[in-house]
Amino acid sequence: GQSLEQPSEVTAVEGAIVQINCTYQTSGFYGLSWYQQHDGGAPTFLSYNALDGLEETGRFSSFLSRSDSYGYLLLQELQMKDSASYFCAVNRDDKIIFGKGTRLHILP
Amino acid sequence: DSGVTQTPKHLITATGQRVTLRCSPRSGDLSVYWYQQSLDQGLQFLIQYYNGEERAKGNILERFSAQQFPDLHSELNLSSLELGDSALYFCASSLTSGGKSDYEQYFGPGTRLTVT
């Protein structure tokens, strides 16, 4: 089948670092992307990994390893405004598949 | 603000009815995607249009249809509505189609549909 697995919830402390994992059981896709969605809001694009390795954009980094069928989103220097849901997504056979999302709780 | 607009913001209708959701993509974007988001199903891809033509189909029911017009705005038509169709419907747009473009999408604020 084609599915993306993410933890349903992760909790971290303000100022800390957190990693949100995404594993998949699908192949033949072009890359992995990440989206952030605040409660009541729309998903917003965070990053895209076309190749294996680490992509860094400010406090956020994303990693992809196609040989391990695995990727992650790394958030550094956590701020309260980072409390949101995070989705990984792939394009398989022109169909966009999203993971069910990871809800990130940040404690002060 | 992503630059993608959707109307209406909220829609309440009865079972069996038909509704039309409208989306205007970001200026310059040629691709439009429709998604359904419900609590138990997450974000489900419905359909994609590129420059007026249907490009990809996801989990779209036969009761649902969409089109993209020459000015690139798109409409999603939902008919014979059922209680289970209650959800948030998002439209997204991207510059072109394929490759990175499919991965970097810009979402509208969504239409919340409630079927009673």
Q: Give the pLDDT confidence of A46-91 residue by residue, as tens digits.
A: 999 988 999 998 999 999 998 888 899 999 999 999 999 999 998 7
Q: Where are the alpha helices (DSSP H) in A1-108?
A: none
Torsion (CA) B6, B10, B16, B22 in degrees, nearest 10: -10
On whether the CB atoms of residues B49 and B66 are closer than 8 A, the answer is: yes
Q: Is B55 on the interface with A (CB under 8 A)?
A: yes
On whether the CB atoms of residues A12 and A104 are closer than 8 A, the answer is: yes
Closest CA in chain B for residue A96: B45
Task: Answer whether residue B33 shows pLDDT above 70.
Answer: yes
State the pLDDT at residue A66.
85
Of A48, A94, A99, nearest to B100 by CB-CB distance is A48
Of B42, B90, B103, nearest to A33 by CB-CB distance is B103
Contacts of A96 in chain B (CB under 8 A): 33, 45, 48, 56, 58, 102, 105
Bridging pattern class, strands A102-107 and B10-13: unpaired
What whole-number distance in Å separates Cα of residue A83 and Cα of residue A67? 31
State the pLDDT at residue A37.
96
State the pLDDT at residue A27.
67
The more confidently predicted of residues B15 and B101 is B15
Which residue type sits at B33?
A: Y
State the pLDDT at residue B9.
97
What whole-number distance in Å separates Cα of residue B43 and Cα of residue B111? 14
The more confidently predicted of residues B101 and A38 is A38
On whether the CB atoms of residues B7 and A51 are closer than 8 A, the answer is: no
Of A31, A41, A95, nearest to B56 by CB-CB distance is A95
Write out the H or E segment, with its range, that includes residue A81: none
Task: Answer whether residue B51 shows pLDDT above 70.
Answer: yes
Q: Looking at residues B21-38, what average pLDDT do you find?
A: 95
Contacts of A94 in chain B (CB under 8 A): 48, 55-56, 98, 102
Contacts of A86 in chain B (CB under 8 A): none
Q: At A36, list the tokens.
A: 């952030």
B26: closest CA among B108, B109, B112? Answer: B108
Residues with Cβ within 8 Å of residue A15, at least 6 apart in sequence: A77, A78
B36: closest CA among B72, B100, B81? Answer: B81
State the pLDDT at residue B23.
98
- Total CB pairs under 8 A between chain A and B: 60
What whole-number distance in Å separates Cα of residue B77 and Cα of residue B116? 18
State the pLDDT at residue A30.
67
